[in-house]
Structure 1
Amino acid sequence: MIKNIIFDFGDVFINLDKQATYKELAKLGVTEVSEEMMQVYYRYEMGLITTKEFIDFYHKKFNIAKKDLINAWNAILLNFPLHRLEFLKELEKSSKYRLFLLSNTNELHISWIQNDWGNNLYQEFKNCFEQFYLSHEINLRKPNENIYEFVLGENNLLASETIFIDDTKENTDIAKNMGIHVWNINPETEDVVNLLNRKEFL
């Protein structure tokens, strides 16, 4: 029986355009993503370097205006369909499940979301969850196994009683290997509001 639900954020609640940042960087002259760039990105996503250090790295490497870099970085973020918030609020109100958010989210992205949504909407969303885990705040990131161990251990959750919803297969594969139920959601054809129709809940 499912007692705990762990949700990803991007392309589960908020819509993303995952190619947008690459396209915007290409317009600024950055057409190749090196291993060094990816490592800096991972470190930033885990909160191991500051936003200033992250932006300075790209600014110095490519001589691009910092404002343009920030705009390109945030281009991935789209809208938040409010029917998903209504679904989440109903789920929370039912008290049938413990709800958690677990997201690879960096400081620039969460700041954009807070400004775009406004504080009231952001807090309304955040308050639906028992715990709201962002990678840059807990210094861990998916798909590393230790982030799932952290969430399970911190909240005394049994993997067999937990389902994890994420749009990235690599993330759900690791969780599945640990005995967690998973839904590798396809944002183009599926919507999280249909969660309770899945076999795990029937």
Structure 2
Amino acid sequence: MIKTIIFDFGDVFINLDKAATAKELENCQISALSENVMAKNLQYEKGLISSDDFVAAYCSEYNQLSEEQMLKSWNAILVDFPKYRVDFIKKVSEKKDFQLILLSNTNEIHIDWVEKNVPFFADFRKCFDAFYLSHEINFRKPDAEIYEFVLKKHNLKPEECLFIDDTKENTDAAAALGIHTWNIEPTREDIIDLFTTKQELF
């Protein structure tokens, strides 16, 4: 029986355009990211470097890129957050049938954008018993350590947990630890249909 539901954030609750940042950078004559910048991306997502250092790394690597252009490009991935999904998780939270945990690979610049542009984000956050962002806990999916951190922190049994994420690599990593998973396909599936789509678990 499922006692804890662990949710991803991007393309589960907030809609993303994952190609948008690359498109914006192409407008600045940046067609591919260097290995150095790719490494900075991973470090930043784990909270190992500051936002200022992260932006500076891009602007140093690509002289034609201004700080404003970099931030616009970086945030282009964030599209919109449909309120009906917040209404859904509020109802689930109010019933108190499950422990609810959010586990997201999210960096400081992106979450700052969400806090400024999504008026109901604070209410959304309150729906969860725990809210883990990769840059705050220094782990990122699909590394096993991030799932082990959550399991240990909350004394959870993997077989009593359901993890929902739009990236197969992430759900595969969780499944390898014995966690039930739903690799949600955001173009044809929606989190509000959780209890019908995965009804065999509830």
> 1:153, CA displacement in angstroms?
0.4
The answer to which of 192-201 and 178-187 deviates more is 192-201
* Identity %, equivalent residues: 50
Q: Give 2:38's aligned residue.
A: 38
Q: Give 2:81's aligned residue.
A: 80
Q: Which residue identity lines up with residue 40 of structure 2 in the other structure? A: V
> 1:134, CA displacement in angstroms?
0.3
Q: How does 1:98-117 map to 2 (within 5 A)?
A: 98-117=99-118
Q: Give 2:10's aligned residue.
A: 10
Aligned-residue Cα RMSD (Å) equals: 0.8
Q: Which residue identity lines up with residue 92 of structure 1 in the other structure? A: S
Q: Which residue identity lines up with residue 148 of structure 1 in the other structure? A: Y
Q: How does 1:15-164 map to 2 (within 5 A)?
A: 15-63=15-63, 64-118=65-119, 121-164=120-163
Q: Give 1:188's aligned residue.
A: 187
Q: Give the Cα–Cα distance (whole angstroms) in 2 for the partners of residues 150 and 44 of structure 1.
A: 19
Q: Give the Cα–Cα distance (whole angstroms) in 2 for the partners of residues 35 and 179 of structure 1.
A: 34
Query: Unpaired segments of 5 or more residues in structure 2?
Result: none
Q: Which residue identity lines up with residue 70 of structure 1 in the other structure? A: L
Q: TM-score, normalised by structure 1?
A: 0.97
The answer to which of 29-38 and 75-84 deviates more is 29-38
Q: Is the 8 A contact 2:140 2:146 kept in 1?
A: yes
> 1:199, CA displacement in angstroms?
3.5
Q: Which residue identity lines up with residue 5 of structure 1 in the other structure? A: I
Q: Secondary structure at the match of 1:6?
A: strand
Q: Secondary structure at the match of 1:2?
A: coil
> After superposition, what is the alpha-carbon deviation per residue over 1:82-117, rounded to whole angstroms, capped at 9, x for unaligned?
111111000001110000000000000000000001
Q: Give the Cα–Cα distance (whole angstroms) in 1 for the partners of residues 200 and 83 of structure 2.
A: 25
> 1:201, CA displacement in angstroms?
3.1
> 1:41, CA displacement in angstroms?
0.1
Q: Give 2:178's aligned residue.
A: 179
How many pairs align? 200
Q: Give the Cα–Cα distance (whole angstroms) in 2 for the partners of residues 75 and 25 of structure 1.
A: 10
- Structure 1 runs of 4+ aligned residues shifted over 6 Å read none
Q: Is the 8 A contact 1:7 1:100 kept in 2?
A: yes
Q: Give 2:167's aligned residue.
A: 168
> 1:36, CA displacement in angstroms?
2.0
Q: Is the 8 A contact 1:7 1:102 kept in 2?
A: yes
> 1:34, CA displacement in angstroms?
2.6
Q: Give the Cα–Cα distance (whole angstroms) in 1 for the partners of residues 155 and 69 of structure 2.
A: 43
Q: TM-score, normalised by structure 2?
A: 0.97
> After superposition, what is the alpha-carbon deviation per residue over 1:132-168, rounded to whole angstroms, capped at 9, x for unaligned?
0000000000000000000010011110000000000
Query: Unpaired segments of 5 or more residues in structure 1?
Result: none
Q: Which residue identity lines up with residue 28 of structure 1 in the other structure? A: C
Q: Which residue identity lines up with residue 182 of structure 1 in the other structure? A: T
Q: Give the Cα–Cα distance (whole angstroms) in 1 for the partners of residues 131 and 178 of structure 2.
A: 22
Q: Give the Cα–Cα distance (whole angstroms) in 1 for the partners of residues 34 and 167 of structure 2.
A: 21
> 1:37, CA displacement in angstroms?
1.7
